[in-house]
Amino acid sequence: MAAPSVSQEWQAEKEGLTFDMTPIVREAFVFFAHHKNGVDNLTLEQVIQIYAGELTNWRDVGGEDDAIRAFQRPADSGSQTALEKLMGNTPIMDAPSEDIVSGMGGIIHEVAKYRNYKNAVGFTFRYYSTEMVNNKKIKLLSIDGVAPTKENIQNGTYPLVSEFYAVTAGTKNQNAQKLIDWIISDEGQAMVEKVGYVPVEKN
């Protein structure tokens, strides 16, 4: 999973639990638009301004004269937590309820609808969009001129790279650590790469 949100950490602490987090894959936090959108790249600053409600038209980032419809995810979802961390101290604008999509596949589906949502932008993690959903009607945007490719995730040039974790919280199952040890072994990391993720360390 992605790193837990502040409220999830607080809930665990309230229950006397501590998250034991082991990095197992590298992942990119990505932004995407409809494939017919003329914009291929956003700067980090533009992303922050869009989700702060300060940039509201695609023409301001090199696109057509059309309002930007910025989709969000529900609180405590992994990708919404990633957006909150990216925004730092900049408040995220309130999204209309119809622009908050519960499922990751849902946000991709909504942005892909050409008739109504060709002006949309959304966010997810790269693996989900490329390996699990594989929707040809969206395109991943470069950030600061760098595309979220496996190579750019591995070498750290894509600016929004983070680890995904195996997380336990006080488990007494002796097999849990054995499984984690295997995932971070050479064999486990080779499997990570085979299924489409980026290994924590290059083999």
Q: Cα–Cα distance between 184 and 201 in angstroms, integer?
A: 9
Per-residue pLDDT, 115: 41
CATH superfamily name and code, 26-155: Periplasmic binding protein-like II (3.40.190.10)
Could you tell me the two tokens for 75?
């609180």
Verdict on whether the full-model pTM lies above 0.85: no
For 14, list phi and psi in degrees, rounded to 5. Answer: -60, -35
For 78, list phi and psi in degrees, rounded to 5. Answer: -60, -40
Secondary structure (3-state) at 173: coil
Which pLDDT tens digits describe the chain residue by residue (203 residues)? 878 878 888 888 898 988 999 999 999 999 999 999 999 999 999 999 999 999 999 999 999 999 999 988 877 778 888 899 999 999 999 876 566 665 555 656 655 554 447 898 999 888 877 765 566 788 999 999 999 998 999 888 999 998 889 999 888 898 999 999 999 999 999 999 898 889 986 54
The packing angle between helices 78-87 and 44-51, to 10°, is: 110
Per-residue pLDDT, 116: 47
Q: Cα–Cα distance between 33 and 165 in angstroms, integer?
A: 27
Per-residue pLDDT, 108: 62
Q: Cα–Cα distance between 29 and 122 in angstroms, integer?
A: 11
CATH 3.40.190.10-classified regions of the chain: 26-155
Per-residue pLDDT, 110: 59
